[in-house]
Amino acid sequence: MDNTQEIAAGAAIRLGGIAKRYGDVRAVSHVDLTIAPGEVVALLGPNGAGKSTTVDMILGLTTPDEGTVSVFGQTPADAVRAGMIGAMLQGGTLLDDLTVRETVGLVAKLHRRPMPVRDALRAAGVEDIADRRANKLSGGQKQRVRFAVALVSDPDLLVLDEPTAAMDVGSRREFWKSMYSFTDTGRTVLFATHYLEEAEEFADRVVLMRAGEIVADGSVAEVRALAGGRTIRAVLPAGVSDQLVSALPAVTSFALRGERVALSSSDSDTTLRALLAAVPAVRDIEIGAVGLEGAFLSLTSDETEEAVR
Ligand SMILES: Nc1ncnc2c1ncn2[C@@H]1O[C@H](COP(=O)(O)OP(=O)(O)OP(=O)(O)O)[C@@H](O)[C@H]1O
């Protein structure tokens, strides 16, 4: 076994230079990613960044044009067959005429070593609606049933594409509570999300995609730091132009609305000195740490493409 194969065998997920095109669209471009067993990883990115395409390749639903995908050292198809992967996809269909218990039971029968159906129902928080038919469920309840379906094979890896998309705040909290008990047992989770606070609160590691590529990869704190670490907010006198703000040193992104400016800076001392020199009448200055949202906007905007490479 050479070194690359050894890493692939030890990893939960290993993507080696994967690329996927749809006609003229480069959905994913040469993505390398290794996820260790036990990691909880958030895949973040704006619409069209390539998250779902990446997830589909990990699940073997799409094959990459280039590169390799392995899951616990196996092909996605073999890993799925062995019940190692549980997946929850956007809008996966449920059979209307089956009850929740029947649905989860049916999926359990497809697997060699399923967990007891009752345990999957409990873990996903759908025990109380186990006898209801799928066509009588709300959007958030359906999502939780999909979660039970993903869990019932007792997988080592859960792959979730925007799992809480249809849930209200309360259901989302319940969902993550169930997830905590799953990851407590050392299992691996990869979830795609638009909710930055979910990544911030829940993931050990954040992988940020933009236009088919990974633009940042690290802990929440590291990704924040990559974006420059500080925001400056201030009130400017009337007439200060976008050009003046964008020309300030170390600015990675900014928004100027009326007299209010909010900008991210990779060196807030330098930016602030230049701002005071250029606009002495600036007032109400506040400096803060960039949240994950600031990092997200800064790292996924067109202007900063070069800054993060
Ligand atoms: N089956 C397909 N046929 C053609 N183009 C596709 C197909 N699937 C995805 N794409 C394109 O590939 C790019 C990446 O899409 P993808 O769905 O992977 O992004 P995403 O990050 O999951 O976006 P979202 O957050 O909106 O779900 C987009 O430009 C999309 O339009």
ipTM: 0.96
Protein residue with least CA distance to atom 5, ligand 1: 22
The pLDDT value recorded for residue 302 is: 57
Mean pLDDT along residues 171-185: 82
Q: What is the DSSP string of 171-208?
A: HHHHHHHHHHHHHTTT-EEEEEES-HHHHHHH-SEEEE
CB 26 near ligand 1, within 6 Å: no
Q: Residue type at 203?
A: A
* Protein residue with its CA nearest to atom 30 in ligand 1: 48
Per-residue confidence band for 305, with pLDDT thresholds at 50, 70 and 90: very low
22 lines ligand 1 (CB under 6 A): yes
Q: Average pLDDT, stretch 284-299?
A: 75
Instruction: List domains and CATH numbers for the chain.
Output: 3-223 (3.40.50.300), 228-289 (3.30.70.100)
Q: Give 234: exposed, middle or buried? Use CB within 10 Å, 0-12, 13-18, 19+.
A: buried
Higher pLDDT residue, 208 or 183?
Answer: 208
DSSP string, 118-145: HHHHHHTT-GGGTTSBGGG--HHHHHHH
CA of 53 to the centre of ligand 1 (A): 6
List the residue whose alpha carbon is closest to atom 11 of ligand 1: 27
- Closest of 224, 245, 226 to residue 289, by C-alpha: 224
| DSSP 8-state secondary structure symbol assigned to residue 115 | P
Confidence label for 130 from pLDDT (cuts 50, 70 and 90): very high
* Predicted pLDDT of residue 121: 94
> What distance in angstroms lies between residue 138's CA and the mean position of ligand 1's atoms?
26
Give CA angle at 206 (203, 209), nearest 5°.
140
| Ligand 1 nearest-atom number relative to CA 23 | 4
**pLDDT value, residue 270:** 93
Q: How far is the CA of 161 from the centre of ligand 1 (A)?
A: 13
Confidence of residue 281 (pLDDT cuts 50, 70, 90): very high
For ligand 1, atom 1, name the residue with the nearest CA: 22
Q: Round the average pLDDT of the chain to a whole number and report it.
A: 85
The answer, yes or no, to whether residue 30 has pLDDT greater than 60, is yes
What integer pLDDT is reported at residue 308 of this predicted model?
A: 33
Kindly give the pairing relationship between strand 260-265 and strand 230-235. antiparallel
Q: What is the mean pLDDT of residues 291-308?
A: 58
Q: Determine if ligand 1 sits within 6 Å of the CB of residue 45.
A: yes
- The answer, yes or no, to whether any atom of ligand 1 lies below 6 A from the CB of 27, is yes
Residues 25-53: what's their mean pLDDT? 92
Look at residues 257, 260, 266 and name the one whose alpha carbon lies nearest to residue 290. Answer: 266
The residue that leads in pLDDT, 7 or 210, is 210
